[in-house]
A and B are shown apart, each in its own frame.
Chain A
Amino acid sequence: MMKRRARFDIWTFVLVAAWVILIALLIWPLSSILRASLIDNETGTFSLIHYIQIATIRAYQRAVGNTLLAGFGGMTGALILGVTLAFVTTRFHIYGRAIIQTLAVVALVSPPFIGAYAWIVLFGASGVVRKGLASIGISIPPLYGAMGVILVFAFKFFPHVFLITSGALASINRSVEEAAESLGVSPMRRLFTITFPLILPAISASALLTFVLSIADFGTPRIIGRDFNVLATEAFNLYGSEVGGNPGMASALSIALIILSMIIVFGQRWVLRKNVYYSNLIKKPERKHVSGLKAAGLHLLAYAIVLVGALPAIIVVLFSFRRTSGPVFQPGVSLQSYERVISTVSEPIWNTLIFSSVAVIAIVITGTLIGYLISRRPGIATGALDAILMVPYVVPGIVMGIAFITRFNEPPLALTGTGLIIILAVFIRRLPYSARSVAAALKQVGPNLEDAAISLGYSPGKAFLKVTVPLILPGIMAGALMSFVTAMNELSSSLVLYVGSTITMPVRIYLAVMDGEYGTASALSTILLTMTVVAVYAAFHLSGRKESALL
C-alpha cells in the first residue's frame, strides 16, 4: 500500500527500538533470575536443587501455601466487597454516590503498606481501637498474621473490583433481566442465573487482577504478617540477607511467584473461553428507589465498605498531626512530624518526584508509539511484542528489582546505586499499561477518521496529528497521570534497588514503619497521599470523569 510504504521506515524503526527496549529491560534481566534459579550456589553447575528445596523444605512449602492463601483470601474478600458495592450502587438509589466513589478511589490510590501500617495503629498489639475496647472489657486479638494480611488486601483491592464490575453491571440490557422475571424466575435466582454470568468477564478480570496484586504485594505481609511468610517476603529476605544470602533460592522463589501468576492468567482465559457476550444496549438498567429499613440497610452496607476501605488513609492523615515524643504518640496536635520530615528527610520527596516524572515521560512517549504500532500495524513482530508486554503484569516488583540488580551490577551496564535503575524498573513495569491503553484508545477512534482527513487533502502524517492525536490526547494524559501515581507509590522494586542517596518516599515510609517512627511515617504518607490525590483528580478530570481511567 502506498501510505504504508511511505511510513515504512519510521515504524520499522519504532518496532526495532521497542524490541531492543523489551529485550534489554525485560527479557535479559529476567533471564538472569531463571539462570540463577537453575544453578547451585556452591558448585556453580546446573541443578534443580532450589526447586527441589521449595518442594521439600517446610519453610518454603509454607511460603507457597501462604502465598496462595493470601492470593485467594485477598481475592475472595475483594470480590465480595467489590461486587456487593457495585451491585448496591448500580441497582439501588443510594444518596451520595459521588462520596462513595471518591472514598473508593482514595482506598484505591493509597499505597497498600500505608493500609497495613494504619491497621496496626488501630488494631495492633498497642492499637488505639484495641486498647479502647480493652478498657471497656472487650478483648480482641491483635491483627497480625494471615487474617490481618487478607483483611488488608480485601479492603485495599476491592475498589478495583468495584470499578470494573459497576461498569459491566451498568451496561446489562434491562430487557434481559425483565425477560427472566417474566419467565417466572425469582429476583435472587435471576441474580445468579442471569446477572452474574453476564458480568463474568468483568468479575473474572477483576479476580485475576486482585489475585496478582495480592501475591505480588510485599509491604503488607512484611509489616502486618509477622511470621506469615509469603514468596515475596521470603525472596526478599534471601536476597537481601546480610548473613550470606541465597541468590539461587531467591531466584527460584521468584520464578515460583511468576508461575503462580501465570497459572491464574491462563485460568482466567480458560474461564472466559466462551463467555463473550455482545449485546445491543437498548434499555439501561435503572436504579430502584427503596425506602424504610431496606434503604437504611443498603446505605449502611455501602458506606461501611468504603469507609473501612478509606480508613487507613484517613487515619494516616489524622495521626500525622499528632504530637510525638520519639516513636510514641502523645496527646495534642502538632506539626512537629512535618517539621522533622522537612528538616531531615526531604530528600526522598525530591527523589520520588524526579524519578516518577522522568519515568512517566519515558513511559508516555514509548507507550504511545508502541500502542500505535500494536493497533495500527498488525503483524507477526507486533503480535509477539504485544504478547511479551503481558509479562510485566505477572512479574512482581520485588522480582523485577532482584532481576535488575543481578543484571545491571557490572559493566557495561553498571547501574546499581543510580537513580536510573529505579526509573528503568518503574518504566518497564508500567509501560504495558500505557501501551495497552493507547492501543485501546486508538481502537475507539477508528481508522475511517484518518481516511476522511486524507480524502480531504491531508497527508497521512498530518491526518494522524490533526485528527487522531487530539482525540487520544486526553486518554494519554490521564494514563500518564495514573502512571505517575503508580510510579510515586512503587515500593517493592525500589526497596531492592535503592541506596542511601536514591531513597524514595515509599521506601522511607516503609523503613520508618519498620523502625517504629510512626510520626515520620504518617507525615510522609500524608504528603505522598496528597500528591497522589492531586494527580488522580487531574486524571479523572482529563478523562471526562470516567472511573475506568483509574484502573
Chain B
Amino acid sequence: MADLKIQGLAKSYKDVRVLESIDLDIASGEFFTLLGPSGCGKTTLLRTIAGFQHQDRGEIIVNGERIDHKPAHKRDIGMVFQDYAVFPHLTVADNVAFGLKARSLPKSEIDARVAEALKMVRLDGYQDRLPAEMSGGQQQRIGLARAMAIRPTLLLMDEPLSNLDAKLRIELREDIRDIQRRLGITTIYVTHDQEEALAVSDRICVMNKGNIEQIGTPFEIYRKPLRRFAATFVGTMNLLPGEIAGGRLSVGSQTISYPSQASGPVEVAIRPENVLLPGMPHQGEIIALTGAVQKVTFLGREAHYTLRTEAGEIIAQVADPSHDFIEMEGRHVDVRLPLQKIVLFGKSGDVIEAGQA
C-alpha cells in the first residue's frame, strides 16, 4: 500500500497551461477522485502520474520516493482506461496474465493470480473467451482484473464507466468500490460525473481550468462548497443575486441581518432540497419570498418546482410529492430560504464565511 504526494506539478501544451501548480496529498488506501468538466486537466494529471505524459515542473512522490523520472513501464502503477483498452487478440485469461508475464513469474503463480483476479471481478468461467464476445461492462471488468493482477502500488482509473449504460454504471461502480475497500489499494479515479464521484470517493478533488477548486469528503464538497464552481458543478444549486452591507443581507426586497464583515454584491446559494414551500416545518431565521409556480416536474420520488420570485428563479425540490402538490402550476406560494442552509459567494467566487452572531 502506498501514499502519494504531488508537489507543484505544472504542465503546458504550447501556450496553454493545462495544469497550474498542483499539490496533492493522498493517503494510503484512499479512494481519491479527480472531478471536473472536460478540459479541466484531470486526465492530464492522471496520465502524468502514470508516466504517459511528463510534467514541466513539480514532483510525484510515492511512499517517499520520487517516481517522476522513471519511465511508465517501471512505475508499477495499474491503469484502467475509458475505452477498456482490452487486447482484442488475447483471451480473457491472457489479458489478465499479460502484466504478470512481463514480471516473469512462475506459471503456477500466474495461473493462481489470474484465477483470483477473475473471481474478484466475477468473470470466473470466462477465461477462454475473446473480448469481442463480451459486453462493455464485462470488458471493463477484464481491464480492472488485468490492472489489479499485477498488485500495483497505485490504481489509476480514467473515466472507467463513461462508456457504459446507466444501470451497468451503477452496478460496476459498486463493485469497484467494494474491491478497492477489500484490497485497500490507493486509488485515483477520474470522472466528470458528480454523482459517481459522490458515491464512490473517500475524498474528491474538484478541478477547473488546471486548478484545484476544492478538496474534501463528498459531504464537505456537497454541503460546504468553498468555491462557487464546486457548488454549481456538484449537484444543483440555486443562485440569487444579493447585496451585503453593514451586517445586513438583501435579497430581492427582503433584508435581514447577517453577521459578516464583508460588503458588496454577493450570490446567495441554496440547494433545491433546502428551499421550503408552505406546510414544511423550519427552525431559525429565514428569507421570506413569494413566487409563482411556473412548472412542476414530477420525478417519482420527488418533484421539482420552478418558481419565479422577485429575487430570481428558484428550483425547489419536494420529496414524496402528494397529488395536490402536483397540481400547483400557476399558483402563487410562499417561498422560504432558511438562513443556516444558505451559502454566500463573493465576486471572486470564494465563499463568504458568516461571522460570529
| A interface residues with partner B (beta carbon < 8 Å) | 1-3, 6, 446, 448-449, 451-460, 462-463, 466-467, 470-471
Contacts and interface: CB of A to CB of B under 8 A. Distances in A.
Interface stretch (B50-58, B171-179, B189-197, B280-288): B50-58
B293 interface: no
B98 interface: yes
The 4 closest A-B pairs by CB, nearest first: A456-B99, A457-B102, A455-B79, A452-B85
B235 interface: no
A526 B81 CA distance: 53
A457 B53 contact: no
Given A3-B71, A459-B73, A451 B85 contact: yes
A344 B285 CA distance: 110
Interface in B70-86: 71-79, 81, 83, 85
Given A2-B54, A456-B98, A456-B146, A448 B85 contact: yes
Contact of A452 (B54, B74, B87, B89): B87
Contact of B52 (A451, A466, A470): A451
Given A2-B54, A455-B147, A449 B103 contact: no
Interface string B75-115: 11111010101011100000000110011000000000000
Contacts of A471: 88-89
A457 B99 CA distance: 6
B49 to A, nearest CB: 11
B34 interface: no
A471 B131 CA distance: 14
Contacts of A454: 51-52, 72-73
A378 B290 CA distance: 61
B150 interface: yes
B325 to A, nearest CB: 38
A465 B298 CA distance: 56
B73 A451 contact: no
Contacts of A462: 102
A459 B52 contact: no
Contacts of B83: 446, 448
Contacts of B73: 454-460, 463
Given A457-B99, A457-B102, A457-B150, A452 B72 contact: no
A459 B53 contact: no
Nearest to A467: B87
Interface string B130-173: 00000000000001001100100000100000000000000000
Given A3-B71, A451-B81, 12 more contacts: A6-B71, A448-B85, A451-B72, A452-B81, A455-B77, A455-B79, A455-B99, A455-B156, A456-B98, A456-B150, A462-B102, A467-B87
B85 A449 contact: yes
A470 B98 CA distance: 14
Most buried by B among A449, A453, A457, A460: A457
A455 B87 contact: no
Nearest to B69: A2
Interface string B283-303: 000000000000000000000
A127 B102 CA distance: 69
Contacts of A1: 53-54
A451 B150 contact: no
A456 B74 CA distance: 9
B51 A2 contact: yes
A455 B71 contact: no
Contacts of A449: 85, 87
13 contacts: A1-B54, A452-B81, A452-B87, A453-B98, A455-B99, A455-B147, A455-B156, A456-B147, A457-B73, A457-B74, A457-B76, A458-B102, A470-B89
Contacts of B146: 452, 456
Contacts of A446: 83, 85
Nearest to A446: B83
Nearest to B149: A456
B112 to A, nearest CB: 18
A460 B74 CA distance: 11
A446 B85 CA distance: 8
A471 B146 CA distance: 19
**Interface core residue of B51, B75, B77, B150 (most chain A CB under 10 Å):** B51
Given A454-B52, A456-B99, A2 B72 contact: yes
A471 B89 CA distance: 7
Nearest to A449: B85
B88 A2 contact: no
A451 B102 CA distance: 14
A1 B48 CA distance: 10
Contacts of B143: 452
Interface in B35-50: 50
A457 B103 contact: yes
B305 to A, nearest CB: 35
B282 to A, nearest CB: 48
Contacts of B87: 449, 452-453, 467
Contact of B72 (A448, A455, A467, A470): A455
Given A2-B54, A451-B52, A451-B79, A456 B102 contact: yes
Nearest to B77: A455
A455 to B, nearest CB: 4
B79 A452 contact: yes
Nearest to A466: B98
A335 B87 CA distance: 53
Contacts of B52: 451, 454
A466 B73 CA distance: 14
Contacts of B50: 451, 455
Contacts of B53: 1
Contacts of B89: 470-471
A3 B102 contact: no
Given A451-B85, A454-B52, A457-B150, A2 B102 contact: no
Contacts of A457: 73-74, 76, 99, 102-103, 150
A451 B147 CA distance: 12
A185 B98 CA distance: 55
A273 B104 CA distance: 53
Nearest to B98: A456
B29 to A, nearest CB: 20
B102 A455 contact: no
Nearest to A455: B79
B239 to A, nearest CB: 35
A459 B146 CA distance: 17
A1 B72 CA distance: 11
Contacts of B150: 456-457
Nearest to B104: A457
A542 to B, nearest CB: 14
Contacts of B77: 455
B103 A455 contact: no
A281 to B, nearest CB: 16
Contact of A455 (B54, B78, B88): B78
B263 to A, nearest CB: 50
Contacts of B74: 457
